[in-house]
């Protein structure tokens, strides 16, 4: 009972260049299914599918794809096809996707666009990600100062086709240099007498964000002000684009996903199983090979105390337990610090406060876990002294691990290193070394009792 | 050079019940500072601050707080004060905060509200989180079918005060039972002749979401349709509220943060360092104590092969390395699976596809890491046979760990368990046991060569 999988059906349609069939098939898919089916296609089939569909439909599909797939697919299309599809997407998505491409690929696609659009897109793509400039869209309604309500309404009527793809909520009133002078709400336009001048209807001194404002500043801006969007101004007050609240929230979500990925040792960006095997393997190994060196370094502590271990072989059972448990306790503290840094309840300089918050907790949990493992060791191996050594070492090492785990992300952040990526390996290396050292030197001290 | 910290200043103002001073102080804070300063206050001072401010200002502060602080502060206020502040918040925030309170506290606050509002809020709070009902707001503009454009404009004028706090973009046209019949865009209202009937202007058969639609369905809805918001209907087509795209994105971001928290062993919800020490300690221990038992279980494999270890004590150095490295390789695969489940590129039943995606990668990385650690062992301990045993065991165990790590989240998801919480401990227990077993049995086999 071999069933034909939907991606196999779609592949067959694409390979027989059945444009209509492919389109109908895509339309028949549940939204939840689209991403899964498309991600299962072979890389070249995915690109062929896009060139088979109309640019509008292809743009729709691209928006469903993970970013990594989307930029890969664009690279596999001809620059002309890629340009036609890109033009159907919102400006910030265009800029993001181009930013993910190799420079030569991006330039080839830009060369296929209207020079003016290409220039605008180049500028957009140049703004750093996770700033107002990198997150804004340029699809917005600008009206020059001096118009009356009926003139603005006329303007809307005339531009209705251009604006049909926009999410229009405000019109931005600009002066001669393009500088923002006010914001016009559509509903106010609706309620005002037709001869009213825009200047008398608009909100003056509107809240705006600077083009280089960073993500956490933007998050707080939208917490402070209940807007759906805000105008983005350059350093001379000129209106450059509109930042939507949803754009900021999506960026926060992406950042969270990236933090998670990096703590788990996935480096170099999103990994999807449909990516080339060797790329995935190489990226994972990059992190693992650093880790193995750190591990060997930590384990050298054991080698230095080999004679103690030889005398009390039962200790060997407990070394991995101490290593793992200290790592877990420390990781919890790392997670809380990373989270508090994101929420803004602590900042990188708050070392003292974090240490105060962890030291007592570390002691309590250390004592509890130490007693637990101490009793296990005592009962299992029949030696109260072994229990004392193992339990004591875990208690001290847990306290250390919790304190170190709490402060490492702050120290890395202050040093402008990525706390999500580096906290884990640094933490476990230190706690392994301390843990092994504690167990083995305590055991050496009580050697007579342990034999 | 003792500097007075801002939270100490604020505490002094609150303790001297200086309402004006506290308000001015709060207004002087940078948005980024507000959350940090408020989170540093003592729990009771935080509640006093809220009761000192006007309900509007207090609501503003509440929106800046992490949820855990906000609900705790509400519990510390009198029900009357809490009700006044809550009323200033959007309906879904009200419902979320009430949902976080103990039932008796929530009821006491509801008793202080208008019975009608309280009833509405009770209903809102009853919808499961992360469904359309749990995420929607009820602040929306409804107009009955049959009106003309000028009547609608009149309606807007008359209700302008009520609507001032709303983000109005659409008006929803409803029939006599409250069933949704169409959606009216403000900009269309703006451009239409005044006598036009609403029925002729509205978009018919508008896209809507069912009240019980889940988060991933909602994410895809907004990917599919470029709306800022969508009407939420119950099973009889009656309009219940409006779901904003930003609400869905915030929920996705929260879910990501929770996944991260749980993978790192933070259970029972958000942990902030300002929470009571014993609560934090207890929650962390809940996860650690399960973990320590799993660890002891895994280490028993070592105990069973103690005589091999005694014969080749150098192996003890490599046991923690194998445990840690296999754990790391497996965690990477877990992270990729969790992420792909979120993105929708795989689902719980795709075990075969995931296994195919990991098995080769596991082999490649296993061989590379095995050769690496094998060479280290050979050079360090001067025994090629030791290198073979340790390297071989790591190679096999890495392959296993990567395969297991890839599929565990899917299996847990299928069994309706939380993959973020349980994948890590299950993974490391299995890989530790296999790793220890592999090293020690291979060593026993080559014992003559290793001595």
Do residues A329 and A415 share a domain?
yes
The pLDDT of B408-433, averaged and rounded, is 91
Would you place residue B35 in the very low, low, confident or very high pLDDT band (cuts 50, 70, 90)?
confident
Q: Which residue of B has its CA nearest to A302?
A: B317
Domain with residue A416: its CATH number is 1.10.357.20
pLDDT the model gives residue B433: 94
Which residues on B lie below 8 Å from A157 (Cβ)? 191
Would you place residue A416 in the very low, low, confident or very high pLDDT band (cuts 50, 70, 90)?
confident
Percent of chain B topping pLDDT 90: 46
A366-380, A402-416, B143-157, B395-409: lowest mean pLDDT where?
B143-157
- Please indicate, yes or no, if residue B408 is contained in any of the structural domains: yes
Across chain B, what does the average pLDDT equal?
A: 89
- Please indicate, yes or no, if residue B283 is contained in any of the structural domains: yes
Cβ contact, residue pair A280, B361, below 8 Å: yes
Query: ipTM of this predicted complex?
Result: 0.83
The pLDDT of A142-150, averaged and rounded, is 88
CA distance A409 to chain B (A): 14
Cβ contact, residue pair B345, A295, below 8 Å: no
Q: Which domain holds residue B184?
A: 141-261
Do residues A116 and A149 share a domain?
no
At A171, phi and psi to the nearest 5?
-110, 140
pLDDT the model gives residue A394: 96
Per the model's pLDDT, the better-predicted residue between B99 and A162 turns out to be B99
**B318-330 pLDDT tens trace:** 999 999 999 999 9
Do residues B119 and B152 share a domain?
no
Which residues on B lie below 8 Å from A191 (Cβ)? 153, 156-157, 160
Number of domains in chain B: 3
Domain with residue B47: its CATH number is 1.25.60.10
CA distance B304 to chain A (A): 10
Do residues B168 and B291 share a domain?
no
pLDDT the model gives residue B189: 78
Cβ contact, residue pair B156, A191, below 8 Å: yes
Question: Which of A78, A103, A126 lies at the terminal end of a domain, its last residue?
Answer: A126
Do residues A50 and A154 share a domain?
no
pLDDT the model gives residue A21: 92
Which residues on B lie below 8 Å from A316 (Cβ)? 302, 306, 309, 316, 319
Do residues A218 and A347 share a domain?
no
b/e burial code for range A220-235 (CB count within 10 A of at least 16 → b): bbbbeeebbbbbbbee
pLDDT the model gives residue B220: 82
- Total-model pTM: 0.82
Closest CA to A423 of A294, A340, A350, A331: A331
**B85-120 pLDDT tens trace:** 999 888 888 988 988 888 889 999 999 999 988 998
Task: State yes or no: pLDDT of A272 exceeds 80.
Answer: yes
Question: Which of A98, A126, A154 lies at the terminal end of a domain, its last residue?
Answer: A126
Per the model's pLDDT, the better-predicted residue between A187 and A217 turns out to be A217
**A395-408 pLDDT tens trace:** 999 999 999 999 99
Q: Which residue has the tokens 């929530």?
A: B106
Cβ contact, residue pair B31, A223, below 8 Å: yes
CA distance B397 to A77: 41
Across chain A, what does the average pLDDT equal?
A: 89
Task: State yes or no: pLDDT of A254 exceeds 60.
Answer: yes
Which residues on B lie below 8 Å from A36 (Cβ)? 344-347
Which residues on A lie below 8 Å from B298 (Cβ)? 320
- Please indicate, yes or no, if residue B201 is contained in any of the structural domains: yes
CA distance B175 to chain A (A): 24
Which of A169, A271, A273 lies at the smallest CB-CB distance from B354?
A: A273
Most distant CA atoms of chain A, gap in Å: 100
CA distance B294 to A271: 30
The pLDDT of B309-336, averaged and rounded, is 92
Domain with residue A206: its CATH number is 3.10.580.10
Task: State yes or no: pLDDT of B12 exceeds 90.
Answer: yes
Q: Which residue of A has its CA nearest to B321?
A: A295
Q: How far is CA A15 from CA A3, A4, A7, A44, in A?
A: 19, 16, 12, 10
Would you place residue B63 in the very low, low, confident or very high pLDDT band (cuts 50, 70, 90)?
confident
Do residues B176 and B121 share a domain?
no
The pLDDT of B70-90, averaged and rounded, is 91
pLDDT the model gives residue A369: 94
Contact B279, A357 (CB under 8 A): no
Which of A263, A292, A428 lies at the smallest CB-CB distance from B373?
A: A292
Q: Output Rg (C-alpha) for chain B, integer angstroms.
A: 30
Do residues A302 and A343 share a domain?
yes
Do residues A218 and A295 share a domain?
no
Task: State yes or no: pLDDT of B271 exceeds 80.
Answer: yes
pLDDT the model gives residue B165: 60
- Please indicate, yes or no, if residue B268 is contained in any of the structural domains: no
Which residues on B lie below 8 Å from A373 (Cβ)? 292, 296
Residue A60: strand, helix, or coil? helix
Do residues B254 and B294 share a domain?
no
Task: State yes or no: pLDDT of A166 exceeds 70.
Answer: no
**B139-177 pLDDT tens trace:** 888 888 888 888 887 887 777 667 766 666 788 999 999
CA distance B334 to B327: 10
Task: State yes or no: pLDDT of B1 exceeds 60.
Answer: no
Do residues B252 and B281 share a domain?
no
């Amino acid at each position: 009972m071999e069933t034909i999988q939907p991606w196999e059906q779609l592949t067959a349609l694409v390979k027989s260049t059945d444009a209509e069939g492919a389109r109908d098939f895509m339309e028949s898919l549940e939204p939840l299914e689209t991403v899964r089916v498309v991600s299962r296609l072979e890389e070249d089939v995915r690109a062929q599918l896009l060139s088979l569909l109309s640019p509008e439909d292809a743009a729709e599909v691209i928006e469903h794809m993970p970013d990594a797939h989307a930029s890969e697919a664009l690279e596999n299309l001809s620059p002309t096809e890629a340009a036609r599809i890109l033009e159907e997407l919102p400006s910030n998505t265009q800029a993001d996707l181009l930013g993910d491409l190799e420079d030569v690929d991006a330039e080839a696609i830009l060369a296929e666009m209207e020079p003016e659009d290409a220039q605008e897109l180049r500028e957009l793509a140049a703004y750093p990600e996770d700033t107002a400039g990198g997150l804004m869209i340029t699809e917005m309604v600008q009206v020059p100062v001096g118009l009356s309500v009926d003139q603005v309404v006329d303007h809307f009527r005339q531009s209705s086709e251009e604006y049909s793809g926009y999410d229009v909520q405000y019109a931005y009133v600009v002066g001669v240099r393009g500088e923002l002078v006010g914001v016009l709400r559509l509903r106010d336009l609706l309620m005002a007498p037709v001869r009213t001048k825009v200047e008398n209807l608009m909100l003056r001194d509107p809240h705006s964000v600077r083009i280089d404002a960073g993500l956490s500043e933007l998050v707080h801006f939208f917490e402070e002000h209940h807007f759906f969007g805000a105008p983005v101004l350059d350093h001379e007050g000129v209106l450059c684009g509109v930042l939507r609240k949803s754009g900021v929230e999506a960026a926060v979500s992406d950042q969270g996903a990236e933090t998670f990925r990096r703590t788990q040792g996935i480096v170099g960006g999103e990994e999807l199983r449909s990516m080339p095997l060797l790329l995935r393997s190489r990226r994972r190994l990059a992190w693992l090979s650093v880790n193995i060196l750190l591990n060997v370094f930590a384990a050298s502590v054991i080698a230095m105390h080999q004679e103690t271990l030889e005398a009390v072989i039962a200790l060997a059972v407990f070394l991995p337990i101490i290593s793992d448990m200290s790592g877990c306790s420390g990781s919890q503290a790392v997670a809380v610090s990373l989270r508090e840094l994101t929420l803004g309840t602590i900042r990188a300089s708050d070392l003292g406060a974090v240490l105060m918050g962890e030291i007592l907790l570390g002691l309590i949990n250390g004592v509890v876990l130490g007693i637990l493992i101490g009793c296990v060791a005592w009962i299992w191996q029949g030696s109260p002294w072994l229990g004392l050594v193992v339990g004591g070492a875990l208690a001290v090492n847990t306290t250390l691990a919790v304190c170190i785990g709490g402060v490492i992300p702050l120290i890395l952040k202050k040093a402008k290193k990525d706390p999500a990526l580096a906290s884990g390996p640094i933490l476990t290396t230190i706690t392994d070394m301390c843990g092994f050292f504690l167990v083995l030197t305590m055991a050496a001290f009580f050697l007579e009792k342990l034999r």
